Structure 1
Amino acid sequence: MRHIVYLINPISGTGGKKSLKSLISRMTEEQRIHYSIVDTHPTGDYHFLREKIKHEYVTDVVVAAGDGTVRQVAKALQDIPVPVSLGIIPRGSGNGLAFAARIPKDPRRALEIVFANRYAPVDAFYMNEQFCCMLSGLGFDAQVAHDFAASGTRGFWTYVKTSVRNFFRARTYPFEIYINGEQIYTNAYFISIANSNQFGNNFTIAPQASLGDGMLDIVIVQEMRKRKLVGSILRQVRSGKVQPRYGLDQEAGGILYFQAKSLVIRNPKLAPLHIDGDPWPGNDTFTIQVIPKAFRLLQPQAPQA
């Protein structure tokens, strides 16, 4: 018998007269599934879920929030002895993991996926000791994340305005990347380490990325003229070819895209960092390692594993 724990923001709504809590209650009761609703935690600490799962026989945890909260919950569910499925009702600004898994933003349709109870294992990765479940980055996109968090307002258009403003003042950073015995030295606008194929809002940056292939997708956007930058990224989005060797095509002006299970990035000028869209303190060295099959995610058309 299923027992679903829903984690939602206490002031979230569906955009209509009924609150998200009312929608969840009505639809779950129609399915005759046992459930409880818990407010999201302001500190992001969800380790209390482990005891709740143990003592209340919880089978699923469904997060009605954005990528940051999904990451915090997925981290708390690591290494629990009882298998629990993670579901998402997308409520964030980007919703990158949900959209990569083809989970719709409409809460009714997202709940239908939860009730269908189809799940598949999803990889995650560590960036030093920080757990990441979708996408982390250094440089331009991280600066956008920092400025967006400091803006005091949320929403898609705030994110767009913040991105455009940062584009015109973006600068490059020197990086050293060590991967499988090879080295890359480059000046780059940003480096993205991805387990999913996109930044969010269905903007794809790593077209070959798979949520469960046991590999990380690394995209390096090197120094080039600004007017060439946009075209190069669009070509990357369309083609998404993975470099056959890590040391190829390092000349300035290219976009490098490769796959690996682990890598080390030296960051001597302390380019800003984001983890799953949340601003994070930087570091001069990052050791990055994939976590195969880190958690199981409720998704459309996913076979039970």
Structure 2
Amino acid sequence: MSKRPHIRFIINPTSGPRSKVDVAARVKLHLDHSKFDHDIVYTDYAGHAPELAKQAAEKGCAVVVAVGGDGTVNEVARGLLHTETALGIIPRGSGNGLARHLQVPLSVDGAIRFLNQGHRTRIDSGTINGHPFFTTAGIGFDAYISSVFAGSKHRGLKTYVELIMKEVRNYRHLPVKVTINGKTLDTDCFVLAFANAAQYGNNAYIAPLADIRDGLLDVCLVRKLDMFKALNLSYSMLAKKPAGPDSAEYFKAMAVEVTTDHSIMYHADGDFLGKASAFSVSMVPQSLYVVAP
């Protein structure tokens, strides 16, 4: 490494809209080369980005930039946890939840110029059954939609909304036991969302009051969902305010335990992880540096 801070760009070549942008060319044009050295690497397979990020951190990189969607951001961030290397983001996905929460410009050129400012801050991360997440994790319907969305040929908000409207009538809530803040709830569960950041992505705010630096999970429980409650919850998410008590309940906690007699789907940062009948969710305060205001 030279005396100038080094930035590594990790590009997921499969992320992004059909109209491809030559990110390498834009980096050459907009990165301040008087301030930073850089290199660009590409992922070859799922799970490659954490390796590339960890290698960069071990070499003393100042910043590692995830170029891709929320899945790529999650992978790069996992490789940087508990290091002095900061996560940067060039958002190229359909939701871009962490980029939006951190107020990173959504354009490629704007995100690169934002890196030149060099602002760093620490944020919290969470884990669900040992898997790190940085925006949201959840069990129930949102995880089910993640599994369906992952298999869809089309991306974007329109596809996501169409899937929700198609599947919401067929998905059934399940009984779960939730231990939170020393109390155990026996409850039905349509969605149980664990938020570090305020939104899923696409400005859909599942936990509008979430603070990514407070060391606490914002937990949103939707017990049952009929069409009226679905409309109320959808409006609240888009209006960036908590839903009414008839539609959702909110809690703050450092850790949550969930058990159920039935295996339930779960996700982290929108990536479907599988099914389980027991979940341990917790916060890891101030565990990641990010380039953000």
Counterpart residue number, 2:37 = 34
Residue from 53, 58, 61 that aligns with 1:49: 53
* Equivalent pair of 1:127/1:287 in contact (CA under 8 Å): yes
Out of 149-158 and 186-195, give the one that drifted further: 149-158
CA distance in 2, matches of 1:17, 1:280: 28
Q: Does 1:211 align with 2:215?
A: no
Structure-2 residue corresponding to 1:272: 265
Structure-2 change in CA distance of 1:67 and 1:4 (3 Å): same
Instruction: Determine if contact 1:143/1:166 at 8 Å carries over to the other structure.
Output: no
- Whether 1:5 and 2:14 are equivalent positions in the alignment is no
Partner Cα distance (1:254, 1:14) in 2 = 34
Contact 1:241 1:257 in 2 (8 A): no
Distance 1:238 1:255, change over 3 A: same
- Give matches, 1:212-251, under 5 Å: 212-235=213-236, 239-240=241-242
Contact (CA 8 Å) 2:16, 2:93: kept in 1 or not?
Answer: no
CA distance in 2, matches of 1:36, 1:93: 25
Instruction: Read off the aligned partner of 1:65 and give its amino acid letter.
Output: G
Question: Do structure 1's residue 258 and structure 2's residue 258 form an aligned pair?
Answer: no
For residues 36 and 153 of structure 1, the distance between their equivalents in structure 2, rounded to whole angstroms, comes to 31
Partner of 2:155: 154
| Structure 1 residue 37, shift from structure 2 partner | 0.4
Structure 1 position 175 matched with structure 2 position 176: yes
1:192, 1:17 → 2: CA distance? 33
**Are 1:189 and 2:190 an aligned pair?**
yes
Amino acid at match of 1:149: A
Q: Paired residue for 1:69?
A: 72
CA contact (8 A) 1:176 1:266 kept: yes
Give the distance between the partners of 1:153 and 1:123, measured in 2 at CA.
32
Deviations 1:10-63 (A, max 9, x none): 4667887861221112212555521000002412232243333333x3111011
Amino acid at match of 2:157: F
Over 3 Å counting, the alpha-carbon distance change for 1:49 and 1:285 in structure 2 is same
Counterpart residue type for residue 295 of structure 1? L
Over aligned residue pairs, what C-alpha RMSD do you find? 2.3
TM-score, reference length from structure 1: 0.87
Structure-1 separation of matches of 2:79 and 2:58: 13
Percent identity of equivalent pairs:
29
CA contact (8 A) 1:14 1:107 kept: no
Distance 1:284 1:271 in 2: 6
Distance in 1 of aligned mates of 2:213 and 2:132: 16
Q: CA deviation at 1:115?
A: 1.0
Residue 20 (1) aligns with residue 23 (2): yes
Counterparts in 2 of 1:18 and 1:74: CA distance versus 1, 3 Å: closer
Contact 2:262 2:277 in 1 (8 A): yes
Other-structure match for 2:96: 95
Residues 172-210 of structure 1, C-alpha deviations (whole Å, 9 max, x = no match) = 111111012201111121110010001110111101101
CA distance, structure 2, for counterparts of residue 11 and residue 149 of structure 1: 13
Shift of 1:232: 4.2
TM-score, length-scaled by structure 2: 0.90
How far 1:114 moved relative to its partner?
A: 1.0
Cα distance in 2 for residues equivalent to 1:232 and 1:134:
19
* Partners of 2:207 and 2:279 in 1: CA distance: 20
Q: 1:217-273 deviations in whole A, cap 9, x for unaligned?
A: 00001114322332145347554389xxxxxx7xxx441101100110113222211
Cα distance in 2 for residues equivalent to 1:39 and 1:204? 31
- Other-structure match for 1:59: 62
1:14, 1:20 within 8 Å by CA — same for their partners in 2? Answer: no
Amino acid across the alignment from 2:125: A
